[in-house]
Homo-oligomer: A and B are copies of this chain.
Amino acid sequence: MIIVMKPHAPQEAVNQVTSLIKSHGLETHLSQGHQVTIIGVVGDKNKLCCDNIQLLPYVDKLIPVTESYKLSNKKFHPEPTRIRVKDLEIGPDTLTVMAGPCAVESEEQLMTVARAVKKAGAQILRGGAYKPRTSPYSFQGLEEEGLKYMAQAGEETGLATICEVISAQSMEAAVKYVDMIQIGARNMQNFQLLREAGRAGLPVMLKRGLSATIDEWLNAAEYIISEGNPNVILCERGIRTYETATRNTLDISAVPVIKSKSHLPIFVDPSHASGVQAYVSPLAKAAVACGADGLMIEVHNDPEHALSDGPQSLTFRIFDELMQDLGKYAALAERKMA
C-alpha cells in the first residue's frame, strides 16, 4: 500500500497519515519527490482498513501494491496445479474437453449425447440439472432426477461428470452423483456457496462472473481454496461488453493473464462466450492455441429442439469434426488429449 499526498501537503498532514498507520502496528517509509510526498506502508496491511486513509486531509490517492489473493497466486506457488478426476489429469500437459447438453432434459437425451461425446473423444460429461435462468418462466432443470441420469451416464460411458450447483441444497445433492462441481458465472461472488464448495471434497470449476475482473475471480477462487480445497479450475466464458454481435465477449487474453498470475488450470467455454453455433469451433481452436488447459462445449442431439441454449449447441457431426481438429492443435501445444 502506497499513499500519495497532494502537492504542497503540510508536514502535519503527513504526520497524521503516518500516525494512523503506526497506530495499527505497521511501519511507514517516506519518499519526498519534487511535487509530492509518498508514504509506503510496510507490514501486513490486513491489520489496517487502509482504504479509510483516503479520507484524511491532503491525501491524493491510495495505491495497492500486493494482491489480496495468496493461495491462488503464482508468486507464492509457482508450480502449475494438476487435478485428478477419475483417471484424468487436468493441467499443463493435457487438453481436457468437457462436453454435453446445456440442460439434462431426459434420460434418453443425456445417454445419447454422452455416448456421442465419448465417441468423439471428450473426457468429461457436462449437463445442467439446476439451471439459473433470466426469466422465472423458462425451464429450470430436472434437479435431482437430472443428477441421477448424470451418474448413470458416467457409469455407462466411463466419462467423468460435472454439474453446476446453485445453492447449498443442490451442492449437497450433486456431491452424491457427480465427479466435479461447477460454480456458474452468476454465482461467482455468492461467497456462501464458494465456502461450501471449499468444503465439498470435489474439484470445482469456477466460471468467471459476467463482469468480474481477473482480480475478483482469483479472490473468489481464494474463498474455495482457503476452506481447504485446492482443486480449482478457472473457466473463462465471456464477459459483458457493449458489443452485441456475440452473447458475451470472449476475453481470450484471460488465458495468458491467468497463466502469468496463477497456478490454477484455465479452461475456456466458447459456447456461452459466443452464443452462436458457427462461432464455437473457431473460438475453441483459438483457446487451445492460446494455451488453455481445457474446454467446455455444449453439444446436443437435436439443437433445434433443445430446452436451453440451442443456438450455441453443436450437433454431433460438428463436434466430431472439431475434436479431430483439436487433436492437431493439442499436438502443436504439446498437450495430450487423454
Chain A interface (Cβ < 8 Å from any Cβ of B): 2, 4, 6-7, 20, 29, 31-36, 38, 40, 42-44, 46, 49, 51-56, 63, 65-66, 68-69, 75-76, 132-137, 139, 166-169, 186-187, 189-192, 195, 209-211, 213-216, 219, 222-223, 226, 239-246, 249-257, 260-261, 273-274, 277-279, 282-283, 285-291, 303-311, 325, 328-329, 332
Nearest CB of B to A195, in Å = 8
Contact yes or no, B289 A137, CB < 8 A = no
Given A2-B63, A7-B75, A20-B304, do A49 and B246 touch, yes or no (CB 8 Å)? no
Residues of B near A311 (CB, < 8 A) are: 51-52, 54-55
- 7 shortest A-B CB distances, which residue pairs? A211-B211, A52-B310, A289-B289, A286-B286, A286-B290, A285-B289, A186-B189
Given A52-B303, A306-B49, do A190 and B187 touch, yes or no (CB 8 Å)? yes
CA distance A132 to B282 in the complex (A): 33
Residues of B near A35 (CB, < 8 A) are: 66
Nearest CB of B to A262, in Å = 11
Q: Which residue of B lies closest to A332 (CB)?
A: B328
Q: Which residue of B lies closest to A46 (CB)?
A: B137
Given A33-B40, A288-B289, do A245 and B75 touch, yes or no (CB 8 Å)? no
